[in-house]
Chains A and B, each alone.
Chain A
Amino acid sequence: MNIVVTVKLVPDLVEELVINASGTALDMTATRLKLNECDDHAIEQAVLLQERGAGQVTIIAPDVEGVDDALYTAAAKGTVRLIKLTRRWDSASNHALARVFANAVEVLQLRPELILTGVQAHNDLDGTVGPILAEHLGMPYVGYVSSVKISGSDQVTVRKEYPGGLLAEMQVTLPAVLGIQAADKPPRYVPISKIRQTMKTATIETFPAAELEPGGAVAVSRMFQPEIGARATMLEGDADQVGARLIEIFKEQSVL
């Protein structure tokens, strides 16, 4: 079984976010990228399936800063084929990204029975990648998946999470795209020695990405840091002053 995992790198929220001069997007020169958390789970799920004898795993990612580290770390978890999509990636909407992923899958003739991708990312502005990718490839899509088991030559059993704490188990006939919320097990730790070994042995293939078509994306008119609302009071001062004022306020409001 061919398993393809499409992943993207997203702004690392540990660093301060800076808005660009035009005020419509992040300043990417000041932004550090990291693998999207749900995509990390998608990789883990694929490696778990591979370890259970499911077949060959291919990971596809846009060629942005930090992509090599992310791909080698993934390869250190299990034997996988690594492909990065080369082009200038200033910003790509999920619609554009999904088209590029679909194009790579078709042109490279990856013939996946199963495509796994993170169900969401914190920078999704125009829907999520999974369903759009499924539409382009003419495959069904199941999202919010938290477990995948192979249950037949062309079938998997997935567990899908619904709001309100409900779970559903369903049979999915392949090929299909799954939006992974969480892998069967949390993503494993990879010791640096293993990553270093992988860097020596694994290769990252490159594939020129198709044109980024803007269709379907949203137009951002203004991007800004949260502003202080009319009903918010900001407390100034050092920790002791702020603490003392907080206690006063709690007393005024009869909370204390």
Chain B
Amino acid sequence: MDTMPAPTPSFTDKFYANLRQLPNGERIKSCLQCGMCSSVCPFGFVMDYPPSRMVAALRADIFDRVVKTDTVWMCISCYACTEVCPARIPLTAVLMSRAKEELLLAGKVPAELQIALENSQRYGNVLGQSPRKRADWAKGIRPPVAVMGKDKKETDVLWFVGDYASYHPRVQLTTRALARILDALGVDFGILGADEVSDGDSQRLAGERGLFETLAEKNGQALRKYKFNRILTTDPHAYNALKNEYPALGISYPVQHHTQFLAERLDQLKPLLKQPAKVTVAFHDPCYLGRANNVYEEPRALLKAIPGLELVEMSHNHATGLCCGGGGGGMWMEGFHWEKAHARTSEWRVREAVAAGADTLAVACPYEPPRFEDAAKGIKEAIGLAVADVAKLLADSMVVE
């Protein structure tokens, strides 16, 4: 009997085979085509191929058509699709990120994203700031924030600060607030200073896997130089990278988000919270704290500990939380997203906060204060809505004798 010559694998065949080798990638086979992913996707309405249609394109052997479109870049890696998928397909981490990687390799990169990626390559931060100035946020803080290598080699808590928390003037308010809280709690901590580079997680989810690995290696080299018991970070993206992605690269440390770390010390913190705050607060669940890592109650417990503070919930809360629009590279594609969608999820979110009766939107991710403050400026009913990280609200309520 004649054997048929093996057919040349199509683009789809190669792409699909690669997906199946990635963690839980084989689950794509069990897609029911229920379409829940595409309907829950905040930008599904502008995508040529929202997630379920992407899977259909895989099965129809026409995935080459998907990577010829540019609306894959509308994905903000918010995990909403992954959260609702009954077949537990890793849509965000595997399918969407790999599709973006194909676009990247083909040179189809929005100009804004290219700048952020080039900055990450050259300066180790997406903002294109001087790496030498990474610890400048701590200037003038008393007692001084210890820089590992310079001030000490051993510490209890290694604080991984992150790009926006280090450099963004608005986000530095949160960073300084946490330094004050850590000092008040008597925590022994240090930062990496100029040795730290971007955690790289959002670059990974924007398809730049190689860049993510390069950045992770640099952070790994910096971390290996010192002795410490745990890593602390205010950045859910850094938290996600350190907890779920770095271990596969041989960089494995216990890590906590600041809301987890502080919630564990609530008994010690609570007596310091003496300044009442007459505010009604809605908490925005950051995607990489909530859906990606199931941390929902710690930030709420901290907020409830502030005297006078009333906590309300928005229509989207906990696992249904609505993304600020900054994930998966969205932070660097505001213009591209506006051009495609003429909508900003951050604007929908501040409307939700006001509708819930909140005068303050509490956040727990460095992407959020500038995004939501900016959104509130353009929404009539949201003008005056305050935006503050949980750490900032705690520090404002803290009275230390």
Listed in ascending order, the chain A residues whose CB lies under 8 Å from chain B are: 14-16, 34, 186, 188-189, 191-196
Contact = CB atoms under 8 A, between A and B. Distances in A.
B245 to A, nearest CB: 16
B107 A189 contact: yes
B121 A192 contact: yes
A188 B111 CA distance: 9
A192 B107 contact: no
Interface in B78-123: 101, 104-105, 107, 109, 111, 114, 117-118, 121-123
B397 interface: no
B208 interface: yes
Contacts of A193: 105, 209-210
Given A14-B129, A15-B132, A186-B111, A191 B210 contact: yes
Contact of B214 (A14, A34, A192, A194): A192
Given A186-B111, A189-B118, A192-B121, A15 B210 contact: no
Given A14-B123, A16-B130, A34-B122, A192 B114 contact: no
B107 A188 contact: yes
A14 B107 contact: no
A189 B114 contact: yes
A193 B209 CA distance: 8
Main secondary structure of the interface of B (DSSP, over half): helix
11 contacts: A14-B123, A15-B130, A15-B132, A189-B107, A189-B117, A191-B208, A191-B210, A192-B208, A193-B105, A194-B105, A194-B210
Nearest to A73: B121
Contacts of A192: 121, 208, 210-211, 213-214
Given A16-B130, A16-B132, A189-B109, 18 more contacts: A14-B123, A14-B128, A15-B130, A34-B122, A186-B111, A188-B107, A189-B107, A189-B114, A189-B118, A191-B101, A191-B210, A191-B211, A192-B208, A192-B210, A192-B211, A192-B214, A193-B105, A193-B210
A64 to B, nearest CB: 16
A191 B111 CA distance: 14
B117 A14 contact: no
A16 B213 CA distance: 29
Interface string B192-219: 0000000000000000111101100000
A189 B130 CA distance: 21
Contacts of B208: 191-192
A16 B132 CA distance: 10
Nearest to B132: A15
Nearest to B213: A192
Q: Which residue among A15, A186, A191, A194 has the maximum number of chain B CB atoms within 10 Å of its CB?
A: A191
Contacts of A15: 130, 132
